[in-house]
């Protein structure tokens, strides 16, 4: 029997800190933190010279903004999660809905405060990230209902925006167009990663009207599309790096993509069953290519 999403702990009992930590999902923090560091490296400034900005930016992008977005998403999705994953903190009753909402709002305020430490570029990007997080989950906007807009917004927020911000913060200016182009390509490719992430919520999305691509296209077609969306931007990244004379980074990106293609073939044999496996294996290769591209851009600068 599933637990109602509005069940709360006994009166007067606060949620256990472990349940609140689970609510903000530390496992999701890595991609935006990594992307921010890629941005710093791609600017050519060097982490050693800009470690304070890199540290604050990584904390802001990961634990604070991404953590906030997870709490907000779980609060907005508590009825869906009662179908998909009744063991999660809110539907299981381990975190009352009011605590989840309070956590999301408190972390929103904390994000804005930390954003001021990164100058106008960092603060502006923080505002954009916060708006994107709430637009993704909150009615009446709730862009996650769309299998096209939802993954696109998450890909932009997890990869493109942090990368751009990291480069802008250490440069105190808009990044070079080459940096923006590579960041945008990796953000586009992340659309496919987010589509695969939707496989775990297939039943609940069908029941609640969320039109993810696995729902609208079916698992097989959605997986093929996701693989194509992940691969093509990386081909473009490798080609651009070759054109710009960053030969070894281009080779590294190409090698990363070749390994991903092998993993994609395994994924397509059982998309629904192997999507979680691919999100661990293929994504690690994907982000490795990101850093190789960032190093190449930094050497060009």
* CATH code, domain with 286: 1.10.600
- Domain containing 239 equals 24-300
**What pLDDT, on the 0 to 100 scale, is given for residue 3?**
38
Domain count for the chain, please give it: 1
Q: Which two tokens stand for residue 86?
A: 């009744």
Residue 157 resides in a domain: yes
**What pLDDT, on the 0 to 100 scale, is given for residue 82?**
85
Q: What band does 215 get if pLDDT is binned at 50, 70 and 90?
A: confident
**What pLDDT, on the 0 to 100 scale, is given for residue 227?**
96
Residue 2 resides in a domain: no
Residue 3 resides in a domain: no
Cα separation values, 28 from 34, 69, 268, 277, Å: 11, 10, 24, 15
Residue 164 resides in a domain: yes
pLDDT tens-place string over residues 249-271 = 999 999 999 999 999 999 999 98
CB-CB contact of 290 with 162 (8 Å): no
**How far is residue 253's CA from residue 146's CA, in Å, rounded to a whole number?**
30
Q: Lowest mean pLDDT of 51-55, 67-71, 238-242, 258-262, name the range.
A: 51-55
pLDDT tens-place string over residues 154-207 = 999 999 999 999 999 999 899 999 999 999 999 999 999 999 988 877 777 777
**What pLDDT, on the 0 to 100 scale, is given for residue 45?**
75
Residue 10 resides in a domain: no
Angle at which helices 219-243 and 247-269 cross, to 10°? 170
Residue 85 resides in a domain: yes
Residue 19 resides in a domain: no
Residue 15 resides in a domain: no
CB-CB contact of 217 with 270 (8 Å): no
**What pLDDT, on the 0 to 100 scale, is given for residue 285?**
94
């Amino acid at each position: 029997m599933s637990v109602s999403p509005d069940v709360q702990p006994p009166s007067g009992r606060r949620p256990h800190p472990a349940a609140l930590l689970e609510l903000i999902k530390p496992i999701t923090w890595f991609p935006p933190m990594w992307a921010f560091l890629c941005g710093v490296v791609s600017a050519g400034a060097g982490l050693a010279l800009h470690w304070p900005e890199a540290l604050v930016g990584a904390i802001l992008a990961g634990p604070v903004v991404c953590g906030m977005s997870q709490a907000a998403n779980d609060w907005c999705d508590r009825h869906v999660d009662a179908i998909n994953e009744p063991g999660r903190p809110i539907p299981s009753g381990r975190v009352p809905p009011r605590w989840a909402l309070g956590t999301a709002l408190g972390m929103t305020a904390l994000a804005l405060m930390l954003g001021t430490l990164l100058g106008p570029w960092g603060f502006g990007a923080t505002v954009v990230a916060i708006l994107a997080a709430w637009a993704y989950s909150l009615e009446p906007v709730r862009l996650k209902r769309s299998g096209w807009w939802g993954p696109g917004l998450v890909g932009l927020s997890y990869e493109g925006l942090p990368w751009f911000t990291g480069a802008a913060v250490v440069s105190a200016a808009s990044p070079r167009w080459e940096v923006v182009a590579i960041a945008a390509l990796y953000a586009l490719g992340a659309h496919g990663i987010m589509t695969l992430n939707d496989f775990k919520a297939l039943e609940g999305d069908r029941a609640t009207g969320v039109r993810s691509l696995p729902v609208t296209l079916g698992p097989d077609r959605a997986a093929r599309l996701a693989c194509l969306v992940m691969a093509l931007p990386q081909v473009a990244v490798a080609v651009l790096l070759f054109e710009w004379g960053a030969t070894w980074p281009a080779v590294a990106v190409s090698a990363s993509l070749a390994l991903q293609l092998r993993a994609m073939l395994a994924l397509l044999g059982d998309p629904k069953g192997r999507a979680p496996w691919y999100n661990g294996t293929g994504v690690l290769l994907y982000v490795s290519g990101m850093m190789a591209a960032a190093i190449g851009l930094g050497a060009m600068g």
